[in-house]
Amino acid sequence: MELAGDIMIAALAGGVIGLDRTAAGQFMVSQPIVAGPLTGLILGDVMAGLLIGALLELIWVMDVPVGTFVPANQTVAAVAATAIAVIGSGGSAPLSAIGFVLLLTVAMSPLTMIVETAMRKGNARLGTSLFASSGRPAAAALSRAHLAGLALFFAKSFLLCLVLVPAGLLALEAFERLPAVFHEAMMLFVKLLPLLGVASIARKLSIRIFDRFLVGGFLLAAVLGLAFAVSPAVIILLAVAAGWMGVRFHG
């Protein structure tokens, strides 16, 4: 019962946080760097959520749902990955488990994109049918349609988490039985993943000169890491902050 309760809590968190993505608010709570730690806080391991969210943010910071482009739902990925790592590890996720669930987000992404595309088409049909049926709908009808859209967006993220978290827990359980070399590989994967994120940002921005925010953030992270033995999670967080500022203020 406790396992089922934790899965349900994670799914509810995913549904609520997912509303901020495009449907309501857009206060950036749905960004992985926030959604991951929030989920970790709810389930009892903030650091795992921070690490997962920071790494996913670094990789997906440039993927914005603008126009017809439908990116992977990084909110669902961050919430589900954090929940899988924390629940599957009994409350304190080791680095190997974090690496494995980050790898699982690769499998999650196509499913979230398919569901996201279907949801957008459904919302478009909802608006079209509303105007077609009554010509000029009343304010009450428009309000009902808007609230129905919010409910559908909540249900989308909720159901995705409700499916992905149990499936991920089964995959994590199978991973735990693998030899130690696989666990060591996942730990190395986590340590190297920030480099992939930086490369992704650089490629998408087509950086031709050193970005002062990006370089400054990584220099600060390196100095803190060498001089004061700062936690790797803090260094990764600084790297993500530098990349985020570079994206927002570039050019």
Q: Which residues, at least 6 apart from 108, have a Cβ–Cβ distance to it below 8 Å?
A: 72, 76, 77, 80, 81, 164
Asked whether 101 and 168 are in contact (CB, 8 A), the reply is yes
Per-residue pLDDT of the chain (251 residues; tens, 9 = 90+): 688 889 999 999 999 998 888 767 777 888 899 999 999 999 989 999 999 998 888 887 766 666 666 777 889 999 999 999 999 988 788 999 999 999 898 888 888 888 888 877 776 666 666 665 555 555 555 666 666 677 888 888 999 999 999 999 999 999 999 898 888 888 888 887 776 666 666 666 554 444 555 556 656 666 666 666 666 666 666 666 666 665 555 54
**165-196 confidence digits (pLDDT tens):** 999 999 999 999 989 888 888 888 888 777 66
Euclidean distance between CA atoms 100 and 139, whole angstroms:
49
Degrees (nearest 5) of the Cα angle 40, 42, 43?
Answer: 65
Q: Residue 86's closest CA among 134, 128, 119, 38?
A: 38
Overall pTM surpassing 0.85 (yes/no): no
- Give me the residue spans of the domains in the chain: 2-193, 207-251
**83-92 confidence digits (pLDDT tens):** 999 999 887 8
